[in-house]
Structure 1
Amino acid sequence: MNASPATPPPAAADDDLLGGYVAGMTWGWTGGGRGTWTGPGADASMDAMVDRLGVTWVTLAFGALQDTPQSTTIAWREAPTPTDDEVRTAIRAAHARGLRVCLKPVVNVRNGTWRAHIAFFDVDVPCEPTWAQWFAAYTDFMTHYARIAAEEGVAMLCVGCEMVQSDKREDEWRALVAAVRAEYGGLVTYNCDKYQEGAVRWWDAVDVVSSSGYYPLDDWEAQLDRIEPVVRAAGKPFLFLEAGCPSREGSPALPNDWALPGAPSGEAQRDWYEAAFAACARRDWVRGFMLWDWPTPLYLATDAATDDDYCPYAKPAETTIRDAFSRASR
């Protein structure tokens, strides 16, 4: 990838913060990490994503680790987190391809616990870790990348992803967003988890409401009915900052379960995408998707039929996604 700065795409008009429909894909998470975000494999992956899906946005997502759900230090300067140079290079590569970028730093737990379970006592107890200690570390983590986002002309910064147990800490999240805005003038969003859209009481602090859209194939209408009043009340643009389904038998009924047993099935993945796009196309308040996800480096196209993960590369869902993005972007 070219390491020299590239001019980012024009900013969105004042009356449309997102600049139109968000036809996006998440890049760099699966198979990613330090050492994978640059070089020929990364270049080929990003080129294929643009050429085969017709995306106009990309989320550059990467993780940093804390040891346990109750740890109060985040090792974002260490592997597997990509280096700052790698992050900047990927941003510039996306801009050079005409994409608008959402930068998405995410905290994960080294022992494998899902980040949604990061939590501390509601009332501080002597000798126990506290929310204040964790948010101090998390603010250092997030403001570091806010500065990079500002310097590189990133269009949107996601300040958190699926932090379910922390969602209720309204004062701390408002302070975090304020600290980010002191460093970064672009759009700010928070990616709440599926089913949690109504649990976040501080949507007014961000510019864009977003959530993870891993809803069962036959449940999209009911879930959109539930989400719509939340979005209308917030008065902010809404998109699914994550959404996808593994190419695996059974996954359309439980698309958030990345380890669900089942034989590889590109048709099952395609069916889920067809249902998701059809339901959302009837809701003018759904402004788009950042689908999950596109790895670097990519698997071989000849291996697509046996790959049962989320990436749609060289699978039947690829055509469904490209066609849906093309229609929605007209």
Structure 2
Amino acid sequence: MKRARLPLLAVLPVSVISFVLVVPFVAGDHPLRWESGSMLPTLVLKGDKTTTPKTTSADGTTPDTSAPADASPAKVTEEWKKGMPQWGVQLYWEDNPKHSLKYVEQQARTQAEYVVGLHANSISVSFPFYTGTRTSTKISRGDKTPTPERLAQVLRIFHEAGLRTTVRPLMDEKSLDTANGGWRGNIKPTDRAAWFASYKAFMTPYLKAAHSERAASFVIGTELNSMEGDPRWEALVHGAEQTFSGEVAYDANWDNYVEGPITMPVTHLGVDAYFPVKVADTASVTTLVAGWNDWLDKKATGPLPKITISEAGIGAMNGAYHSPGNFYAKRTVNPQVQANWYTAVCKVVQERKMSGVYWWSVYFDTNPNVKPDDKIASRLDFAGRPLSEKAIKSCFTSDYAGPGTTTAG
């Protein structure tokens, strides 16, 4: 989705807060929302109600100490099986190489326990990778990109909790001139063959890690509108399928999805769905459902069993229905807006017989058990908002059996 990215979280100096607040909002059909590590405030792990003294890591963040580092994570009541809905959460992870592996494991267990507590059966691990300008041909890791080895350990912990796991590398947008409309969806590499070669070299170690830890899905690309349909995807996806035994997927941006065919040689299609619905904050769930269906009907009417809502979210604030993916706005907090949206999206998923939904998002380094600090946190945060969590739990404990065993396309 087009947005000025910062993407997808850490102690924020006053100067950075000021910078974030003055980032211009890019109006139009691509509402802004978080994802790029460079502009997103990072939250301090706080709110620990125990009397155990907190320890501070080298980068100044305070890990959650609500559970022993070696504690076993909670376990899902029923593990996901083919044909069941994917009731999931997007976990966004900007790694910090100063964090020890013990810290990473502890945070993974904290997040697993929280996600299982929502009655989810699935989790998607999104993390940033980097490029240069919009015309660059090089793809690379950065300091905030977890290593394949650290990713494997996190996946192992989530697997132990019984969660269906997805690996989802996400192009960071900090270098793409977002102030002038640049974003991952309109990159224009000067040499596409070189871009695909670099992309493959970056992805392969993560495909191997996903395979070794029995991840169910690997998202080979997300919101790369301008690159969709390139014939070079065929060889890249084929190579991925030789390395990774699970499902190779692609996540399309919502506008591209409704405007025409998504030509990608993958086994499953997800949609990052931030459909604007121009209604008042007091709109009913029924009205919101109708707004979503109006958008989906532009593509196809009736059941959509081959589609997963790979991202759904909205700010807990006034006016959010008009621009669900706006990360930067800090209007008056309105938890009911977010909760009603979640309820409506869940109804759409069930009525259209979709394969599931993943809520955007929980940040890896935060404590999800405390209320977000609305002075610095994104309004899209749902962890710690009781009404939103109640709506998610109600969705995930519904009697929807899923789309069946239809083959995704």
Scaled to the shorter chain, the TM-score interval is 0.7 to 0.9
Matching residue of 1:33: 95
1:72-117 deviations in Å (ceiling 9; x for gaps): 11222x3110122210111001101100101111222342542112
TM-superposed deviation, 1:329: 4.8
Matching residue of 2:196: 135
Identity across the alignment (%): 22
Contact kept? 2:303, 2:351, Cα under 8 Å: no
When structure 1 is superposed on structure 2, of 108-117 and 248-257 the one drifting more is: 108-117
CA distance in 1, matches of 2:261, 2:329: 29
Matching residue of 2:391: 320
Matching residue of 1:303: 371
1:37-71 deviations in Å (ceiling 9; x for gaps): 714334223311221x1110100110111121111
Q: 2:215 is matched by which residue type in structure 1?
A: V
Matching residue of 1:126: none
Contact kept? 1:187, 1:207, Cα under 8 Å: yes
CA distance in 2, matches of 1:269, 1:107: 26
How many residues are paired up? 304
Instruction: Please identify runs of 4+ aligned residues in structure 1 that moved more than 4 A.
Output: 9-12, 229-232, 299-302
**Does residue 1:146 correspond to 2:210, yes or no?**
no
Secondary structure in 1 matching 2:89: strand
1:156-195 map, 5 Å: 156-169=217-230, 171-195=231-255
CA distance in 1, matches of 2:399, 2:172: 33
Contact kept? 2:91, 2:363, Cα under 8 Å: yes
Contact kept? 1:59, 1:102, Cα under 8 Å: yes
The unaligned stretches of length 5 or more in structure 2 are 1-68, 73-77, 278-287, 402-409
Contact kept? 1:42, 1:297, Cα under 8 Å: no
Contact kept? 2:362, 2:368, Cα under 8 Å: no
Q: 1:161 is matched by which residue type in structure 2?
A: T
CA distance in 2, matches of 1:68, 1:19: 41
CA distance in 2, matches of 1:211, 1:109: 19
Q: 2:227 is matched by which residue type in structure 1?
A: S
1:269 corresponds to which of 333, 338, 354: 338
Q: 2:95 is matched by which residue type in structure 1?
A: G
TM-score of the aligned structures, taking structure 1 as reference length: 0.83
Higher-helix-fraction structure: 1
Secondary structure in 2 matching 1:68: coil
CA spacing shift, 1:118–1:104, aligned 2, 3 Å: same
TM-superposed deviation, 1:228: 3.0
1:221 corresponds to which of 287, 293, 299: 293
CA spacing shift, 1:72–1:279, aligned 2, 3 Å: same
CA spacing shift, 1:281–1:142, aligned 2, 3 Å: same
Contact kept? 1:244, 1:255, Cα under 8 Å: yes
Contact kept? 2:317, 2:337, Cα under 8 Å: yes
1:35-114 map, 5 Å: 35=97, 38-51=104-117, 53-76=118-141, 78-112=142-176, 113=178, 114=183
Contact kept? 1:25, 1:293, Cα under 8 Å: yes
TM-superposed deviation, 1:178: 1.1
**Does residue 1:249 correspond to 2:311, yes or no?**
no
CA distance in 2, matches of 1:300, 1:282: 30
CA distance in 1, matches of 2:360, 2:319: 18
The unaligned stretches of length 5 or more in structure 1 are 13-17, 121-128
What do you get for the CA RMSD once the two structures are aligned? 2.8
CA spacing shift, 1:184–1:200, aligned 2, 3 Å: farther
Contact kept? 1:168, 1:199, Cα under 8 Å: no
CA spacing shift, 1:101–1:41, aligned 2, 3 Å: closer
Matching residue of 2:88: 24
1:238 corresponds to which of 307, 313, 323: 307
TM-superposed deviation, 1:187: 0.7
Q: Between Structure 1 and Structure 2, whose CA radius of gyration is higher?
A: 2
CA distance in 2, matches of 1:324, 1:194: 22
1:166-192 deviations in Å (ceiling 9; x for gaps): 1132x0222221121121121111001
CA distance in 2, matches of 1:138, 1:193: 20
TM-score of the aligned structures, taking structure 2 as reference length: 0.68
TM-superposed deviation, 1:268: 1.6
Contact kept? 1:68, 1:109, Cα under 8 Å: no
